[in-house]
Structure 1
Amino acid sequence: MSRNKPAGKKSRLGRALKSNSAIPAWIILRTNGKVKINPLRRDWRKNDLKV
């Protein structure tokens, strides 16, 4: 990918990067283990972004 990206694409890539994190441990404790995984988690090899 090129080094110079359009601002819109760069913001979408940053948003996808932030949403690809695990759920914090305190949320697992607060929900008594009902919420354990992030359903929006994405692997960079398996799924492509539509940006």
Structure 2
Amino acid sequence: SEETGHRHYYTKKNTMNTPDKLRLKKYDPVARKHVWYTETKKSLGRNEVKK
């Protein structure tokens, strides 16, 4: 997450429809609340969503 640096969620996206970075509000078990996760890089065809 942007707050704690926790990296956990993977997702796929269609780059033709969404060329911008993904920004998802997901549960962060470290902070124990819902926080924003931002896409940073692709890893094996998946978009890694992290800090």
TM range (shorter): under 0.3
Structure number with the higher helix fraction is 1
| Structure of greater relative contact order (alpha carbons < 8 Å, 6+ residues apart) | 2
Based on CA coordinates, which of the two structures has the bigger radius of gyration? 1
TM-score by length of 1: 0.28
